[in-house]
Structure formats: structure tokens, C-alpha cells
Amino acid sequence: MFSKPRKSRRLRAMVSAGVAITLALSACSAAPAATETTATGPTTVNFWSWNPDEGTSKPYIAAFEASHPNIKVQMRFIQYSDYVNTTQLALQSGSGPDVFGLQVGALTNQFAPLAEDLTPAISKQLGTDWKTKLTATDQLAVDGKQVALPWMITGGGLIWANQTLIDSLKLTVPTNSEELKSFCAAVKQAKKYCIVQGAKDAWQNIDVYQSIMNQVSPGTFYKALAGQADFSSAEFVKAFEIWKSLFSDGIFQEGALGATAYPDANDAFHKGEAALMINGTWQNADTTNTRLAQYVTSYGDSFDKNTVFMPYFFPQVVTGGATGTLFGGPDVGFAVSSSSKVKEAAETFVTWLTASEEGQKIMAKTDQQPALSSVPLDLSDVKTPAQVKALEAQGPALKGMIGARQIQNADVQTALGDALSAVASGQQSAADAAVSVQKAIAAAK
């Protein structure tokens, strides 16, 4: 009578213990190997990044694998909001990628200990004068170590126009603050946004502030970040005041502080709800027929695939201010994990992506500036001659960029983002905001 239940109890208890032991063993055992090399099969390189995404990465990976049959690339796209944390934990636990994307600035600085020095690999690929052949490599170097290699070069300091909408309203894209005010009044009368700004996102606000500062006092912004100028000085306060006026004068849409750059502002702009959006060269593909066809899929049949999106330099918002300058550098760079078991294959992939004609020509087709300076933009898919001219005009500005777009220190970046939001919403005066950023710069030293 009792033996069966007792056996059953014992069995259940043993199953419980088994589960516990399995849990313990799985917790203690080493994480699955990040890479696999078999005697006969190809070497697998695990590649994580937020840029490119899975779709964009396909032509690169296909071309690389075709020319390197012994290496297979396993791509994992991670949204940037999750990317930093996921990659950081994975790299530390030894289960991370062999190749990973890095953004210039704080991310590169923080991840530097987890990455290989790519100097020998890039020297082998391009020769000892590789720094003259690849653009802005210094922005991805930390204490002499080449943490990552640049893939594409982007610049901020542009304003994008929905030319089709502006032409339909019989208006002209403004080039200075006076024109901007009258332009915005006319656009608003047509029940459209003038400049749509995703001011919830600090990065977009910092881009605008840099554009303003580069007119108020060219180059001083970067000097102040390096501790060679005072961020609380009159020039910076003036730039904060001009920034504030973009909200109070109705240049930006009402409620901009609650809108994100992506998707809110970006969607509004592409759907023809706004005439202008402040963005950078990373939107260059908007001039291509391929991208316009993709927008039909994203936004539906109501999207006109003949829409002309045109890049202009940021308008002159400071009397006598210099226009036509861009700031920026590598939009993303690729690093090799120092714990990778297939470093050679990983380095081959990174140098192919960043420094080979084959890899960079794929980039050039998307109208993004390749990091390898010998590869020109491929403008064959650009919709109109006027757009081709506008993209060509970016070339000299990209070669002579006034400074880096990304701020090296995360605390300073946060302080400036907070200050801009607080000034725009009337919580802080321009002078107090400038002082708060200067304090963060001093504390970061």
C-alpha cells in the first residue's frame, strides 16, 4: 500500500534534487564558447553591433564570406538602448562577441580595456601610413591604443528639408534667422511643423547647440571640453540664449521636449508633417531611390516615393556667424575583443569592413562617407542632380571637420544634455546652465 507512494515521493525528491544539481552545474559551468573553430569547417566570427542592423549588414557579410570562404560571420543586431549593457556583461563573462561596434567618446573610453589594439592589423592592411588613409582614427584611440577602426564617417551641422513640401508651399529654405522666422510663420500657417526637433533626446539637442556654438565662436566648444576654455563664458551663454529662442520663437514645434528624434521627429519629417529637421550626413541615403522605396514600405502607400529630401548647411543664426562647417567623425567603429579565441579571423573581418576597397565601396553605395578616404561616394542612385550637388558639397566639410561630434566624458555629455533641456523648458537660465556644464567639465578632469 505505502511502498508505491513512498517510491513516488522519493522519485519526485530525486527529480527535485536533479533539477537543483542541474541548476548548480549550469550556473557553475563555463559560458558557451563565443566562437567555434572546427578542423574542417569555417571559423565563426561573432559580430555584435547596433549599427549596421541585420538588413543593412547582409550585403557586407555576404561579400566578405564570398571572398573569405574560411570565415563565417554571425551577426547579432542589438538596439542601442540594450547594446551597452548586454555587450559589457557578455564581454566580461567571456561569452561576448569577437567583433563589436563602438561609438566615439565615452563608449570607446570605457570599453578600451576589453578590446585588442588594432594597430598591427591595420598596419598590415594599409601600411605604416594607415592614419593618412583612414579618416579620424584618433577618435577611436585611447592612450595610444587603436581600440577600434572607423567604418563610416558622419557629420552633424546640417538641416534637412522636405523640398517637395517646401516647394509646394512656394517657400525657400531659410539661410539665416530672419528668414527662418518668416519661413516658420508661413509653414505654421499651412498647418505644418517648421523644424521638428526630438528634444527629448539629448544627442539631438547637443548637435544643435554645437551648430550654434560653431557660429558664435568656431572651435571654442571643443577647447572648453578639453579644459582650454571656460564653458561659463559669454559665448556659451549666448549660444544657450539662441538655443532657448528656437523654442520661444516657435521655430521648433510645440511639445518638442516630449518628442524623440527617432521615431517621432524623423517620422513627422518623412511623412510630410514638417518642413525641416536638424540632422546629419547619416541621413544621406534619404536622397536615394532605394531608400525612398523603403519608406513606401515603412510609411505606407501615402508616402510619395518622388519626395525630394535635401541637405543644407545649418542656417546662420548668429549675425556674422560662419556657416558650412560640419563636426563629427566615425559614426561607428569596430573593435576586436581581447578575449576572442579567433582574433586573426576577427581582425581580418574588421580590416575588411573598414579598410578594404571592397567593403568600403558597399558603404559608398549608401551615400555614407566611407572611412577609407580613397573610396568616393557612389552617387548613382541619388534622385536629382540638385541632391548630387548638395552631397558633393559635403565632401570638403567632412574632410575639414571642426571638431568631434561625440563628447568624450559621459558626465559632461549628461550635464550638457540636462542643461539644454532645462534652459529650453525654462527651469534654468542660460548663465546657470553654462556654469553647470563648466562644473561637470572641471569634475571630470
Q: Which is nearer to another protein, 264 or 286 (CB)?
A: 264
Start-to-end C-alpha separation, the chain: 79
Partners of residue 150 on adjacent β-strands: 333
CB of 175 to another protein, least distance (A): 28
Does residue number 9 form part of the binding site for another protein (CB under 8 A)? yes
Distance CA 358, CA 370 (A): 11
- Within 218-277, the residues that bind another protein by CB under 8 A are 253-259, 264
Q: Which is nearer to another protein, 263 or 395 (CB)?
A: 263
Q: Interface with another protein includes 24 (CB under 8 A)?
A: yes
- By DSSP bridging, strand 274-279 and strand 327-336 are unpaired
CA distance 280 to 259: 18
Binder among 16, 67, 306, 384 for another protein (CB under 8 A): 16
**Cβ of residue 426: shortest distance to another protein, in angstroms?**
8
* 197 within 8 A of 160, measured Cβ to Cβ: no
Binding residues for another protein, rule CB under 8 A, total 42
The only residue of 132, 306, 380, 427 in contact with another protein, by rule CB under 8 A: 427
Dmax (CA) of the chain: 100
- Residues numbered 55-114 forming contacts with another protein, rule: CB under 8 A: 84-85, 88, 92, 106, 110-111, 113-114
- Cell 549675425 sits on residue: 319
CB of 9 to another protein, least distance (A): 6
What is the enclosing helix (H) or strand (E) of 158? Answer: strand 158-162
Distance of alpha carbon 71 from alpha carbon 42, whole angstroms: 5
> Any contact of residue 14 with another protein (CB under 8 A)?
yes
Please check whether residue 200 is in contact with residue 257, taking contact to mean a CB–CB distance below 8 angstroms: yes
Q: Determine how β-strand 99-102 pairs with β-strand 327-336.
A: antiparallel
Query: Least distance to another protein from the beta carbon of 258, Å?
Result: 4
Q: Which residues pair with 334 in a beta bridge?
A: 101, 149
- Dist. CA 236–CA 213, nearest whole Å: 7
Binding of another protein at residue 171 (CB under 8 A)?
no
Q: Which is nearer to another protein, 377 or 407 (CB)?
A: 407
- 428 lies in the site for another protein, by CB under 8 A: yes
Does residue 376 belong to the site contacting another protein (CB under 8 A)?
no
Does position 166 interact with another protein (CB under 8 A)? The reply is no
Q: Which stretch binds another protein (CB under 8 A): 12-20, 54-62, 182-190, 386-394?
A: 12-20
Residues in contact with another protein by CB under 8 A are 9-10, 12-14, 16-17, 19-20, 23-24, 27, 84-85, 88, 92, 106, 110-111, 113-114, 199-200, 253-259, 264, 410-411, 414, 418, 421-422, 424-428
